[in-house]
C-alpha cells in the first residue's frame, strides 16, 4: 500500500515537471496551425528554426548570446515573483542600465585599465536598473500602486530618456559632424569589449579550427562555438555564475528566505516579524539590478555603444518573463529555458529569411507559452491537492511545489 502511494507520488511529480514542456508543445501546435493558415508547412518551418538555432556554430553562438540577457532578466523576474512582485519593467531597466554603463565607459574608458572599467560598468549598470525598479517598489510598498502598471509606464519613460540623451548630450560627435544625427553614442574603446570565447581560446593557444582538427558533425560545431571566431562573449559565463549566486541567495541566505516568505504569505510574514515593505522593495530592486546588468552586458559584450533603446532591450524584458515562468522560477531551471528561448529568437530570424515567415510569429508563440504555462499550472495544482495538503515547505531546496510557480502575489491587498 505504501509502495503504491510512493509510486503515484512519483508519477505526480513527473507529470508536474512535464507540464511546462506540454505548455511549450501546445504553444507550438497552435503556432503551427497559424502557420498552416498562412500556407506554410509548419514542419518545414519549425525544422528550419531548430536547425537555424542549434545546427551550426554561428547559430549556436548567437543562441547563447541571446540567452545571456534572457537568463539575467529571467533571474531578476524570478526573484521579484518569489518576493511577491510582478516586474514587467525589465525592458526599461535594461535601457537605463545600458545607458549608464555606456556613459561610464565613455567617461572612464581612456583613463582606467579596461578590466576595471568593465567591472565598474557592470556594477553601475546594475545599480541604475535597481534604482529604476526601486521606484515601482517604493510606490507599491508605501502607496499601494500596482507594480505591473507602474513598471510598464517606467518602460516607456526609460525609452524617452534614452532618446533624449542619445539625441542630445550622449550623441556620437561623429553623427553631429556628419549632420546625420542618428541617435546613438560613440563606440566605447576596444579595451572595454568583454572578451569573446575565441579570444580566450587564443590566449590558451587553441587556434586550430574544427576542420583543421578533423572534428566533424555536431561536435565540430560545438568545438567551433568555443574556439573559432563567433559573437559569443564571456557575458554568458557571467550570467551562468549569476544564476548559481541567485540560487544560493534565495535558498541559502536569511535575506533570500525572507523574500520568499513575503512572496508566499505577506500576512504570516508580518506576524513573524518580517518587514514586508522593505522586502517588497528589496526583491524588485534586486530584480531591476539583474535587468540593468543585462543591459550592461549587452553594451560591453555585444553592441559596444548605446543606440535605439528598443533595439537594445529587444523584448528581452518580456521574453525573460517567459523564460522565468518556464524555468519554474528556479534560478537553475531558467538556464535551459533561456537557452531554449534564445534559440527560438535566433531560429525565428533564420525562419524568416528562409521561408518568409515574419519573425513576429515567435512573439505570438511566446505569448501562447505564457498562457499555456499558467493554464497547465491549474492541473498541477489539482494534482498537488489530490496528494495530502501538506504545509508549504519553504526549504524545499527550490524544487518548487507547483503552487509556488507563481506565488500568491500580495497584489491588490494593502501591504501596510
Nearer to another protein, 63 or 151 (CB): 151
Number of shown-chain residues binding another protein (CB under 8 A): 50
Among the listed residues 26, 152, 200, 354, the single contact to another protein using CB under 8 A: 152
Cα separation, 287 vs 167, whole angstroms = 29
Closest distance between another protein and the C-beta of residue 164, in Å?
4
Nearer to another protein, 228 or 377 (CB): 377
Closest distance between another protein and the C-beta of residue 202, in Å?
41
- Give yes or no for residue 164 binding another protein (CB under 8 A): yes
- Give yes or no for residue 364 binding another protein (CB under 8 A): yes
DSSP 301-365: IIISS---HHHHHTTHHHHHHHHHHHTTT-HHHHHHHHHHHHHHHHHHHHHHHHH---THHHHHH
Nearer to another protein, 60 or 135 (CB): 135
Give, in order, the Cα–Cα distances in Å from 132 to each of 209, 219, 281: 44, 43, 11
Per DSSP, what are the bridge partners of residue 196?
233
Grid cell, residue 156, equals 516607456
Closest distance between another protein and the C-beta of residue 379, in Å?
8
Closest distance between another protein and the C-beta of residue 382, in Å?
10
Helices 235-252 and 276-297, interaxial angle, to 10°?
A: 170
* Other Cβ atoms within 10 Å of 6 Cβ, number: 10
Cα separation, 179 vs 181, whole angstroms = 6
The dihedral sign for the CA sequence 382, 27, 298, 55: positive
Among the listed residues 44, 51, 55, 163, the single contact to another protein using CB under 8 A: 163
301 in Cβ contact with 233 (< 8 Å): yes
Among the listed residues 323, 362, 400, 402, the single contact to another protein using CB under 8 A: 362
Residues 71-100 that bind another protein (CB under 8 A): 86, 88
Cα separation, 373 vs 182, whole angstroms = 41
Nearer to another protein, 46 or 189 (CB): 46
Nearer to another protein, 79 or 322 (CB): 322
DSSP 196: B
Cα separation, 201 vs 15, whole angstroms = 42
Closest distance between another protein and the C-beta of residue 370, in Å?
3
**By CB under 8 A, which span of 109-117, 315-323, 337-345, 389-397 interacts with another protein?**
315-323
- Give yes or no for residue 361 binding another protein (CB under 8 A): yes
Cα separation, 359 vs 48, whole angstroms = 13
Closest distance between another protein and the C-beta of residue 163, in Å?
5
- Give yes or no for residue 36 binding another protein (CB under 8 A): no
Q: What number of residues does the chain have? A: 416
Residue whose C-alpha is closest to residue 297's, from 80, 76, 86, 133: 76
Closest distance between another protein and the C-beta of residue 175, in Å?
16
- Give yes or no for residue 161 binding another protein (CB under 8 A): yes
Binding site for another protein (CB under 8 A): 34, 38, 86, 88, 139, 143-146, 148-150, 152-154, 156-157, 160-161, 163-164, 167-168, 318, 321-322, 325, 358, 360-371, 373-375, 377-378, 381, 406, 409, 411-412
Amino acid at each position: 500500500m505504501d509502495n503504491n502511494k510512493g509510486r503515484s507520488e512519483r508519477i505526480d511529480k513527473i507529470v508536474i515537471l512535464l507540464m511546462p514542456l506540454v505548455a511549450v508543445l501546445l504553444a507550438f501546435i497552435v503556432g503551427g496551425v497559424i502557420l498552416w493558415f498562412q500556407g506554410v508547412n509548419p514542419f518545414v518551418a519549425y525544422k528550419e528554426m531548430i536547425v537555424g538555432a542549434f545546427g551550426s556554430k554561428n547559430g549556436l553562438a548567437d543562441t547563447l548570446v541571446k540567452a545571456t540577457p534572457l537568463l539575467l532578466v529571467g533571474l531578476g523576474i524570478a526573484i521579484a515573483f518569489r518576493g511577491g512582485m510582478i516586474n514587467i519593467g525589465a525592458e526599461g531597466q535594461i535601457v537605463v542600465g545600458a545607458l549608464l554603463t555606456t556613459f561610464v565607459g565613455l567617461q572612464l574608458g581612456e583613463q582606467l585599465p579596461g578590466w576595471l572599467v568593465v567591472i565598474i560598468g557592470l556594477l553601475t549598470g546594475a545599480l541604475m536598473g535597481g534604482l529604476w525598479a526601486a521606484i515601482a517598489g517604493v510606490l507599491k510598498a508605501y502607496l499601494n500602486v500596482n507594480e505591473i502598471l507602474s513598471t510598464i509606464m517606467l518602460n516607456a519613460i526609460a525609452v524617452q530618456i534614452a532618446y533624449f540623451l542619445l539625441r542630445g548630450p550622449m550623441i556620437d560627435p561623429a553623427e553631429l559632424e556628419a549632420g546625420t544625427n542618428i541617435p546613438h553614442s560613440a563606440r566605447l574603446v576596444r579595451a572595454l569589449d568583454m572578451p569573446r570565447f575565441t579570444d580566450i581560446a587564443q590566449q590558451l593557444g587553441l587556434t586550430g579550427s574544427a576542420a583543421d582538427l578533423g572534428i566533424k558533425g555536431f561536435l565540430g560545431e560545438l568545438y567551433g562555438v568555443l574556439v573559432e571566431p563567433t559573437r559569443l562573449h564571456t557575458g554568458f559565463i557571467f550570467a551562468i555564475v549569476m544564476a548559481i549566486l541567485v540560487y544560493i541567495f534565495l535558498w541559502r541566505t536569511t535575506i533570500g528566505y525572507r523574500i520568499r516568505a513575503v512572496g508566499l504569505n505577506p500576512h504570516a510574514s508580518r506576524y513573524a516579524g518580517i518587514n514586508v515593505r522593505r522586502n517588497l522593495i528589496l526583491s524588485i530592486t534586486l530584480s531591476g539590478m539583474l535587468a540593468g546588468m543585462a543591459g550592461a552586458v549587452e553594451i560591453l559584450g555585444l553592441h559596444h555603444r548605446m543606440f535605439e533603446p528598443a533595439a537594445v532591450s529587444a523584448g528581452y524584458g518580456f521574453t525573460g518573463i517567459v523564460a522565468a515562468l518556464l524555468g519554474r522560477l528556479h534560478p537553475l531551471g531558467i538556464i535551459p529555458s533561456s537557452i531554449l528561448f534564445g534559440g527560438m529568437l535566433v531560429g525565428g530570424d533564420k525562419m524568416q529569411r528562409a521561408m518568409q515567415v515574419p519573425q513576429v510569429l515567435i512573439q505570438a508563440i511566446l505569448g501562447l507559452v505564457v498562457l499555456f504555462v499558467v493554464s497547465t499550472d491549474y492541473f498541477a495544482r489539482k494534482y498537488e491537492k489530490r496528494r495530502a495538503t501538506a504545509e508549504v515547505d519553504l526549504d524545499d531546496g527550490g524544487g518548487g511545489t507547483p503552487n509556488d510557480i507563481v506565488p500568491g502575489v500580495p497584489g491588490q491587498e494593502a501591504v501596510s
